[in-house]
């Protein structure tokens, strides 16, 4: 492909070669354009194909296993994938995944937005750059390191808090005491909140920084305090950005694998159902990752792929919503 | 409710940079004072120091004094938030809050200041929009976004928003520079009406505009690039335009520089 | 109509200055507090990993040896095999992902119009959000499930490619958008074909930004663990063949010792491996920022 380009031809011609006729040069230019545009377009199409194929392959390999499933896939809490009559369902995985992610959002969104406001509006100028870098570094820490830290260091700090909540609010089913000492749903949520906070902050920071100075000044000129200026000018302007940041963070929390795998305590089969956030339980991702060694038959693998498919659909929806919100905003600001 | 402003020996700094040096002038109540001069001469800086908006820019501070009917705007216990409620401001480009309706834009300042009563808000919104000569054009679409108005209407909306908090002084920073001639005329008429109730200070690049709307004109200039801006002379508009005391004023007004 | 003559609505402003000032101050304090709370985990992690793991990094064997013959009760050993594996896989991943990512970004900025471009852009966003475990399952379904190949290093690379492409596309796209249109027009007006304009004028102008994107993408990919669990089982030995046998990496090396939390030696090794990984990732990250900064100065 490259040899047909005029620049390469010119470079490879060592002797003073006669200039190629004008028409030919134009045609090689056009050929180059065609090839290059084709390659660029091809890459774009490849990306579309890849995402589509992810869906297609997951569905294709999940279906045979799902057909054999003796339990209801969506509502069963069982997970027996071997044998002639496998019984598996995602109820428990979905509950753990979603409730831990919601806890993560409940912490990460307000704190993340506050940090973004601190960096863009409140912090002294000299601190803004370093502060932003520190939060970005939080995103650079590999998730396996979070897992290690959560198990070996952080757990001992959260444990007493959990005990306290269970003692005080144990009457509410969500906070009922369970006796689980390892990774509770609550703990998973707290760890996830730390991991997704930089996502919330980075995106919110960007939109807050874009708030036009004229809007900020308009509020201040009406006699607004800094906080009132934030509420009348900065937050309304940044709201779509914050929503999409939250959705992206949610997508990340739902799919986070290794840190969760490190901390979950899986429940023994037959453990009675509990709504408590202090119960154990596995997420989609940790169930798959913890059992990677079991992928020895198409049926077993298919069951895990089916769980992965549900996770894919969940994150797809969340990300699509985030995308739509961003586009609305683009349309609005024009 | 209008008040007079006394500026004495005002120096304005941005960090270590002295932007304006030693300005002393008086703005009488219920009059229009125009600040004119070439770009970078510090007229906008002086305007913004009148409601402490220059402090929003990093490192902005002043020396000297500015008093509103004798009250020092820079007294140590004076809250800049309070100053800005007494001294309203209209900016160069119309800047209605894009997420708010026309009604909410006008009511924004009142709500910030804790006015919640629906009847009061309704009354003030109508009165302010009438005061800004915008009422008849928008009364049927008060709940529509303010960003949907034309540029001139948006600017009058911003004026309505500013007078809704019933300030004593109204500052205008080149309010017509982003507008077409017809909208400009509408704003100029409005300024003439507003001076019955407000003390108005306006920065403008347009000599005819200064001559048309103002009672008093202050001419600012720079000695050289990098030097601070200075007040060259101030006086009745008719005098400044017909018989200026300084050669530079005459040169500027006649368009020889700037 | 004159403002002063019409019957005026008289507003009495409630004197709530003190309440407002207090609320403003409370907001200010909360924001600062939120920042402190957010930074605590970072400091805590860095301090823990460093104090627990730094010692091994200074041992004579860490950067040279593998874990061959080392069991969970024995102190130290080397991480050479895992470092090799991580770097090889990251390198190969970049070789595949960067051209696809850059070309896709070029398509979106320079050629893309209409429906196809919107679809590509949408799919890039979706790909950004695909969890690493799902990418791994997909590659598993193709590589092992459909073609019946073994789990090897290259399969890991394919999964990592999926995760790296969107990072490269997005950063490159941002950079290309920043290239002023005048530059393109100036080049086109000289009779230079469009593709040469892009390769010779547009891409070099955006180069520092693209490099930053690649380095940040690499940093993300190197810390990924899920694809390794599914597709790249661990071994204690040195291995450099991407197409046969097992290939160890830093994350799987940490994971290996996870079942041995009771053994002090194993725990120390985990911290040391984590520190090694963090150092690699942070070096890439800082390099990315540095390139970005140098590039922006020259612009």
DSSP one-letter code for A173: G
- Say if the Cβ atoms of A214 and B91 lie within 8 Å: yes
- Say if the Cβ atoms of A255 and C30 lie within 8 Å: no
Rounded to a whole number of angstroms, the distance from the CA of A57 to the nearest CA of chain C is: 6
pLDDT at A4 exceeding the cut of 50 = no
3-state secondary structure of A310: helix
Q: Within 13 Å and on the Cβ side, how many CA atoms surround C34?
A: 24
Residue C132 is predicted with a pLDDT of 93
- Say if the Cβ atoms of B130 and C13 lie within 8 Å: no
Question: Where are chain A's structural domains?
Answer: 2-68, 79-333
Residue spans of alpha helices (H) in A150-297: 155-169, 185-210, 213-221, 226-229, 235-255, 258-263, 284-290
Nearest to A237 among B51, B96, B99 (CB): B99
The residues of chain C scoring below 50 in pLDDT are 1-6, 297-299
Q: What is the pLDDT of residues B134-186, one digit of tens each?
A: 999 999 999 998 888 999 999 999 999 999 988 999 999 999 988 888 889 99
Nearest to C225 among A50, A258, A319 (CB): A258
Whether residue C17 is contained in a domain is answered as no
Whether residue C32 is contained in a domain is answered as no
Residue C66 is predicted with a pLDDT of 87
> Is the CB of residue A162 less than 8 Å from the CB of residue A96?
no
| Contact partners, residue A31, CB within 8 Å, separation at least 6 | A4
Nearest chain A residue to C49 by CA: give it.
Answer: A149
| Contact partners, residue A296, CB within 8 Å, separation at least 6 | none
Whether residue C57 is contained in a domain is answered as no
Chain C from 195 to 254: CB within 8 A of any A CB: 195-196, 198-200, 219, 222-226, 229-230, 251, 254
Rounded to a whole number of angstroms, the distance from the CA of A62 to the nearest CA of chain C is: 10
- Say if the Cβ atoms of B84 and A220 lie within 8 Å: yes
Residue A28 is predicted with a pLDDT of 55
Record the pTM: 0.84
Domain count, chain C: 1
> Is the CB of residue C288 less than 8 Å from the CB of residue C219?
yes
The H or E element containing residue A120 is: none
Residue C8 is predicted with a pLDDT of 66
**B162 lies within 8 A of chain A by CB:** yes
- Say if the Cβ atoms of B196 and C9 lie within 8 Å: no
Distance CA A230, CA A209 (A): 12
Residue A22 is predicted with a pLDDT of 43
CATH of B5-253, one of 1.20.1730.10, 3.40.50.720, 3.40.50.300, 3.65.10.10: 3.40.50.300
pLDDT at A13 exceeding the cut of 80 = no
Nearest to A223 among B56, B95, B113 (CB): B113
Name which of B130, B153, B167 is nearest C13 in CA terms: B167
pLDDT level of residue B110 (50, 70, 90 thresholds): confident
Residue A18 is predicted with a pLDDT of 44
- Say if the Cβ atoms of B82 and C17 lie within 8 Å: yes
- Say if the Cβ atoms of A5 and C194 lie within 8 Å: no
Above pLDDT 70, what percent of chain A?
89
pLDDT at B51 exceeding the cut of 80 = yes
pLDDT at A11 exceeding the cut of 50 = no
Average pLDDT over residues A302-320: 93
Question: Where are chain B's structural domains?
Answer: 5-253
| Segments forming the whole domain that contains residue C148 | 80-166+212-287
- Say if the Cβ atoms of C133 and A153 lie within 8 Å: no
CATH class of A79-333: mainly alpha
CA A162 to chain centre: 26
The CATH number linked to C216 is 1.10.3720.10
Whether residue C101 is contained in a domain is answered as yes
- Say if the Cβ atoms of B95 and A224 lie within 8 Å: no
Residue A10 is predicted with a pLDDT of 38
Strands B229-236 and B216-222: antiparallel
Distance CA C171, CA C167 (A): 6
- Measured between beta carbons, the chain B residues lying within 8 angstroms of A222 are 84-85, 88, 108-109, 112, 161-162, 165
Residue A307 is predicted with a pLDDT of 94
Nearest to A215 among B88, B95, B165 (CB): B95
Nearest chain C residue to A321 by CA: give it.
Answer: C126
- H/E/C letters for each residue in chain C? CCCCCCCCCCCCCCCCHHHHHHHHHHHHHHHHHHHHHHHHHHHHHHHHHHHHHHHHHCCCCCCCCCCCCCCCCCCCCCCHHHHHHHHHHHHHHHHHHHHHHHHHHHHHHHHCCHHHHHHHHHHHHHHHHCCHHHHHHHHHHHHHHHCCCCCCHHHHHHHHHHHHHHHHHHHHHHHHHHCCHHHHHHHHHCCCCHHHHHHHHHHHHCHHHHHHHHHHHHHHHHHCCHHHHHHCCCCCCCCCCCCCCCCCCHHHHHHHHHHHCCCHHHHHHHHHHHHHHHHHHHHHHHHHHHHHHHHHHHC
The interface predicted TM-score (ipTM) is 0.87
**B78 lies within 8 A of chain C by CB:** no
Query: Considering just the CA atoms, what is the radius of gyration of chain C in Å?
Result: 26
Q: What is the pLDDT of residues A268-302, one digit of tens each?
A: 787 888 888 998 889 999 999 988 888 888 888 99
Strand-pairing partners, residue B34, are B202, B217
- Say if the Cβ atoms of C9 and B114 lie within 8 Å: no
Q: Which two tokens stand for residue A317?
A: 């929806």
What end-to-end distance do the CA atoms of chain B give, in Å?
36
Rounded to a whole number of angstroms, the distance from the CA of C48 to the nearest CA of chain A is: 8
| Contact partners, residue C59, CB within 8 Å, separation at least 6 | C76
Q: What is the pLDDT of residues A68-118, one digit of tens each?
A: 888 889 888 888 888 888 899 999 999 999 999 999 999 999 999 999 999
DSSP one-letter code for B168: S
pLDDT level of residue A145 (50, 70, 90 thresholds): very high
User: What is B6-65 written as a DSSP string?
Assistant: EEEEEEEEETTEEEEEEEEEEE-SS-EEEEE-STTSSHHHHHHHTTTGGGGSTTEEEEEE
Name which of C117, C223, C215, C108 is nearest C170 in CA terms: C108
Rounded to a whole number of angstroms, the distance from the CA of C11 to the nearest CA of chain B is: 7
């Amino acid at each position: 492909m490259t040899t047909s380009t005029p620049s390469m031809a010119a470079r490879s011609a060592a002797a003073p070669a006669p200039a190629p006729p004008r028409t030919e040069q134009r045609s090689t230019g056009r050929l180059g354009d065609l090839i290059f545009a084709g390659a660029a377009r091809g890459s774009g199409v490849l990306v579309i194909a890849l995402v589509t194929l992810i869906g297609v392959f997951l569905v294709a390999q999940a279906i045979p296993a799902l057909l054999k499933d003796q339990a209801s896939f969506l509502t069963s809490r069982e997970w027996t994938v071997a044998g002639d009559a496998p019984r598996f369902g995602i109820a428990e995985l979905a509950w753990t995944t979603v409730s831990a992610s919601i806890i993560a959002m409940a912490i990460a969104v307000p704190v993340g937005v506050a940090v973004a406001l601190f960096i863009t509006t409140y912090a002294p100028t000299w601190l803004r750059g370093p502060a932003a870098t520190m939060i970005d570094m939080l995103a650079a820490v590999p998730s396996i390191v979070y897992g290690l830290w959560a198990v070996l260091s952080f757990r001992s700090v959260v444990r007493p808090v959990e005990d306290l909540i269970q003692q005080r609010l144990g009457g509410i089913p969500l906070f009922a005491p369970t006796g689980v000492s390892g990774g509770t749903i609550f703990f998973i949520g707290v760890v996830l909140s730390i991991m997704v906070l930089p996502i919330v902050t980075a995106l919110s920071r960007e939109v807050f920084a874009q708030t036009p100075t004229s809007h900020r000044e308009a509020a201040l000129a009406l006699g607004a305090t800094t906080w009132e200026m934030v509420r009348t000018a900065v937050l309304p302007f940044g709201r779509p950005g914050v929503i999409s940041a939250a959705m992206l963070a949610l997508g990340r929390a739902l799919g986070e694998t290794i840190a969760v795998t490190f901390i979950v305590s899986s429940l023994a089969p037959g453990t009675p159902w509990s709504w408590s956030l202090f119960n154990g339980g596995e997420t989609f991702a940790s169930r798959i990752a913890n059992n990677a060694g079991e992928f020895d038959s198409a049926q077993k693998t298919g069951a895990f792929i089916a769980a992965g498919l549900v996770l894919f659909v969940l994150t797809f929806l969340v990300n699509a919503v985030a995308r739509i919100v961003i586009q609305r905003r683009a349309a609005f600001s024009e | 409710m209008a008040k007079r402003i006394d500026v004495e020996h005002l120096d304005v700094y941005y960090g270590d940079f002295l932007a304006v040096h030693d300005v002393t002038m008086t703005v009488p109540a219920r009059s229009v004072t125009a600040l004119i001069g070439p770009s970078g001469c510090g007229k906008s800086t002086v305007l913004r120091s009148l409601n402490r908006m220059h402090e929003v820019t990093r490192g902005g501070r002043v020396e000297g004094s500015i008093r509103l009917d004798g009250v020092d705007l820079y007294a140590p216990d004076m809250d800049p938030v309070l100053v800005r409620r007494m001294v309203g401001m209209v900016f160069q480009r119309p800047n209605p809050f894009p997420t708010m309706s026309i009604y909410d834009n006008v009511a924004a300042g009142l709500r910030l200041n804790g006015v919640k009563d629906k009847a009061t808000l309704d009354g003030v919104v109508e009165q302010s929009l009438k005061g800004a000569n915008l009422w008849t054009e928008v009364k049927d679409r008060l709940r529509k976004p303010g960003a949907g108005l034309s540029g001139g209407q948006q600017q009058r909306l911003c004026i309505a928003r500013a007078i809704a908090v019933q300030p004593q002084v109204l500052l205008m920073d080149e309010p017509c520079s982003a507008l077409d001639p017809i909208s400009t005329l509408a704003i100029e008429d409005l300024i003439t009406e507003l001076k019955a109730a407000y003390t108005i200070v306006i920065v403008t690049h347009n000599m005819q505009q200064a001559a048309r709307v103002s009672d008093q004109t202050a001419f600012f200039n720079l000695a050289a690039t990098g030097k601070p801006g200075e007040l060259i002379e101030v006086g009745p508009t008719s005098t400044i335009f017909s018989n200026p005391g300084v050669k530079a004023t005459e040169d500027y007004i006649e368009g020889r520089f700037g | 109509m004159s403002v002063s003559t019409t019957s005026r609505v008289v507003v009495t402003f409630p004197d709530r200055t003190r309440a407002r000032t207090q609320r403003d101050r409370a907001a200010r304090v909360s924001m600062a507090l939120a920042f402190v709370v957010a930074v605590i985990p970072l400091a805590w992690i860095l301090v823990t990993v460093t104090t627990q793991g730094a010692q091994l990094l200074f041992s004579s064997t860490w950067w040279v040896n593998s874990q061959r013959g080392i069991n969970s009760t024995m102190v130290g050993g080397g991480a050479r095999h895992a470092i090799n594996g991580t770097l090889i896989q990251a390198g190969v991943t970049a070789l595949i992902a960067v051209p696809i990512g850059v070309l896709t970004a070029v398509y979106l900025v320079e050629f893309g119009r209409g429906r196809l471009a919107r679809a590509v852009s949408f799919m890039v966003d979706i790909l950004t959000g695909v969890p690493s475990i799902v990418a791994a399952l997909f590659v598993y379904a193709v590589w092992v499930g459909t073609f019946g190949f073994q789990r090897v290093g290259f399969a890991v690379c394919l999964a990592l490619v999926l995760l790296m492409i969107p990072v490269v596309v997005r950063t490159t796209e941002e950079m290309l958008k920043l290239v002023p249109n005048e530059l393109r027009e100036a080049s086109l007006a000289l009779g230079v074909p469009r593709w040469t304009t892009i390769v010779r004028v547009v891409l070099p102008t955006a180069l520092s930004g693209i490099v930053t994107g690649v380095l940040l993408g690499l940093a993300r990919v190197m810390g990924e663990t899920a694809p390794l669990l599914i597709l790249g089982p661990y071994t204690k030995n040195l291995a450099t063949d991407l197409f046969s046998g097992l290939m160890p990496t830093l994350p799987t090396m940490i994971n290996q010792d996870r079942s041995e939390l009771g053994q002090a030696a194993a725990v120390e090794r985990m911290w040391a491996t984590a520190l090694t990984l963090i150092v690699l990732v942070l070096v890439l990250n800082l390099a990315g920022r540095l390139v970005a900064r140098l590039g922006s100065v020259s612009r």
